[in-house]
Structure 1
Amino acid sequence: MSTTTNVEQALDRFIERALSVQMEQSGRLPHQPYDPEWPSDCYQAPATPGQQTAWRPVRQCTASDLFERIGAALDQDIHPDIVSFYNRYWSDPLPARRSEGMLSLLQLWNPEDGERLRANLIGHALNQRRRKRPLSLFFACVEEDEDLFISLDNCNGSIWLESVRRGPLRQLDSSLAAFIDSLEPVATPDQE
């Protein structure tokens, strides 16, 4: 029997708040064009290609070995908080606000999206090794500055604001669960 982690609980609370904000502000779920070539359990109804279709975050039902494979590729164990974060829901990125500004929590839309993430995280890790920086794993983008992202320190699970060029800038929180709990959800805009 599996137990729910603090990160999973925090993400559940965030998504519950995000859906509430979405309904309060727009009265409906976000919409995006249906793409049969990029399927997801998030779609709320089948549609014709290109038709605007409601979607929502949906809990993943099956465990993934994505982070075991990332750890094997890097010859390093991956912090369990980031594993819990990416293995909890299928979703498009989720907008949020914090004192530092607007950000998007990255999520996986489908298993193929997980493979894209795997390649990006491994590339990021190899770049960090080349620069002799400790391993961090990104999970959010800062909206106002494409050079900035938010990551988890793989060693201790602390959360950092990082720059692509300069590396870690400052610690934002002591844990991923605390960071997620500090976020204010923002309604997800429709995609064209």
Structure 2
Amino acid sequence: MMQQIAEALRDFTARYCQLWQQHYGHAPASAELAGIPSPCITGERDDSVLWQPQPFSLRPSLDAVERAVDIQLQPAITTFYTSQFAGDMQARFEHHSLTLLQAWSEDDFLRLQENLIGHLIMKRRLKLSPTLFIATTASEEEIVSLCNLSGEIILEQPGRKQRQILADNIKIFLKTLQPVSG
């Protein structure tokens, strides 16, 4: 199953890069990531960096997150965040616009783990079930997360019990996700 998740992520990323190539004639571009070192950078254009996904160069593990909050994580979340380095990618899932989060570099992966720890601590303090974010939405009130208990992909409002199931698992979510350029 973990290999299938990695393949689904690589497939989505390839579709995302291909869409950029078709629409703009170049690799995905990001103004937000300009000036931040990454193995993904392939060039510059205006005030943006062009990027392509790169192999993940660290040990594929979220052990630091598990140790910090004394929890066993769904293996799917580790596969999701340790399959590649890439820029964040805009997408649509059904009628939801979102930005799929990825680690941009080794340093960014460390920051990502710190943010996951903070998110899990907040969930614990509020006595809510543990989730791990994988995407943001246009609304600051909603994020897309993996439920650590069930493995389902959910739309949730941080700090609230409200949640909507989007997909039974991350593989189905990634296969259904449609890339959006720019």
CA distance in 1, matches of 2:145, 2:159: 14
The residue matched to 1:172 in structure 2 has which SS? strand
Note the C-alpha offset of 1:149.
0.2
Matched, 1:27 2:25: yes
| Residue in structure 2 matched with residue 13 of structure 1 by the alignment | 11
The residue matched to 2:41 in structure 1 has which SS? coil
CA distance in 1, matches of 2:135, 2:165: 14
CA distance in 1, matches of 2:162, 2:55: 31
1:147–1:165 CA contact under 8 A, matched in 2: no
Of 93, 97, 105, which residue of structure 2 is paired with 1:102? 97
Note the C-alpha offset of 1:26.
0.9
| Residue in structure 1 matched with residue 39 of structure 2 by the alignment | 41
Query: What TM-score, normalized by structure 1, do the two folds share?
Result: 0.85
Q: In structure 2, do the counterparts of structure 1 residues 52 and 151 end up closer, same or farther at CA, with 3 Å as the change threshold?
A: closer
Note the C-alpha offset of 1:44.
1.1
CA distance in 2, matches of 1:115, 1:59: 16
5 Å matches for 1:167-182? 167-182=161-176
5 Å matches for 1:46-125? 52-65=48-61, 67-125=62-120
CA distance in 1, matches of 2:2, 2:75: 12
Identity of aligned residues (%): 29
Note the C-alpha offset of 1:57.
1.8
The residue matched to 1:141 in structure 2 has which SS? strand
Aligned residues: 179
Note the C-alpha offset of 1:156.
2.0
Query: What TM-score, normalized by structure 2, do the two folds share?
Result: 0.90
Letter in 2 for 1:56: Q
CA distance in 1, matches of 2:2, 2:133: 22
CA distance in 1, matches of 2:115, 2:144: 14
Note the C-alpha offset of 1:115.
1.7
The residue matched to 2:129 in structure 1 has which SS? coil
What do you get for the CA RMSD once the two structures are aligned? 1.9
Note the C-alpha offset of 1:32.
4.2
Note the C-alpha offset of 1:155.
1.6
The residue matched to 1:44 in structure 2 has which SS? strand
Note the C-alpha offset of 1:59.
2.1
Runs of at least 5 residues in structure 1 that lack an aligned partner in the other structure: none
Q: Larger C-alpha radius of gyration, 1 or 2?
A: 1
Relative CO higher for 1 or 2, CA cutoff 8 Å, sep ≥ 6? 1
Note the C-alpha offset of 1:61.
3.4
